[in-house]
Amino acid sequence: MQTIIIPAEDPQAIPRALAVLRAGGMVAFPTDTVYGVGALAFDAQAVGKIYIAKGRSTEKAIPILLGDAAQLEEVAAAITPIARKLAARFWPGPLTLVVPRHPSIPEALSPLPTVGVRVPDHPVARALLRAAGPLAVTSANLSGQASPVSAGEVFAQLNGSIPLILDGGRTPGGVPSTVVDCTGPEPVVLRAGPITLDNVLKTLK
């Protein structure tokens, strides 16, 4: 497979990415943390390709990225008031909400009854997500290797494994998103990140 890099500002960048995704392929693109590699969230075969490209264990669920909070209904079932409040306050941003998985989400994406969901704060990512709909996205690296912060770093690790990389320049990198379980009566921080438990609790008062 030939891996092509195109500038994110190219007028054909989003249309080409959509064509790849709708054909069951994967696209790497910048987010507000690192570069991610994504496939259509409802396409089980495409999601399976992410595990193969990365050498990732299929026991690890892949998060879903959305273009807007309004898309949450498409990927989650029985959304709690906690999840809605946190989404309204912190999206787009570095907060992943663990919510009940919608029945239409393939088990290839999450073998669990839950799924992690986030709206990234990056213009290229959101433009692609708004056009494509929910994407299963994880860092665009080989499992166990450093998460890439440039298109070149993605190419160095995944060249020949994915068809397309959107080059949006360097990403901030740094701390991964905070992960909060919103399925119970109280929020539970599963992974510490930029948004603290105190930030979360103040929002819910």
Give, as one character, the DSSP assignment of residue 151.
Answer: H
Instruction: List pLDDT tens digits, range 45-54.
Output: 999 999 999 9
The two three-digit tokens of residue 205, written as one number: 């008062």
Which pLDDT score, from 0 to 100, does residue 176 have? 86
Q: Taking a C-beta distance cutoff of 8 angstroms, is the pair 64, 134 a contact?
A: yes
Give, as one character, the DSSP assignment of residue 111.
Answer: S
Tell me which residues of the chain have a pLDDT lower than 70: none
Query: If you write DSSP's letter for every residue of 160-192 in order, what string do you get?
Result: TTBSEEEE-------SPPEEEE-SSSS-EEEE-
Which pLDDT score, from 0 to 100, does residue 59 have? 86
Which pLDDT score, from 0 to 100, does residue 78 have? 86
Own/partner contacts of 48-53, CB < 8 Å, gap of 24 or more, are 48/108, 49/24, 49/25, 50/26, 50/136, 50/138, 51/108, 52/161, 53/26, 53/158, 53/161, 53/162
Which pLDDT score, from 0 to 100, does residue 43 have? 97
Contacts of 49 (CB under 8 A, 6+ apart): 24, 25, 26, 39
Instruction: List pLDDT tens digits, range 90-112.
Output: 999 999 999 999 999 999 998 88
Which whole-number Å values give the CA distances from 82 to 14, 33, 61, 101, 184, in the listed order?
Answer: 33, 24, 22, 16, 9
Residue of 131, 119, 147, 154 lying closest to 32 (CA atoms): 119
Which pLDDT score, from 0 to 100, does residue 173 have? 81
Give the domains, in start order, of the chain with CATH numbers.
4-204 (3.90.870.10)
Which pLDDT score, from 0 to 100, does residue 175 have? 81
Strand bridging mode 35-40 / 4-7: unpaired
Instruction: List pLDDT tens digits, range 156-169.
Output: 999 999 999 999 99
Give, as one character, the DSSP assignment of residue 93.
Answer: S
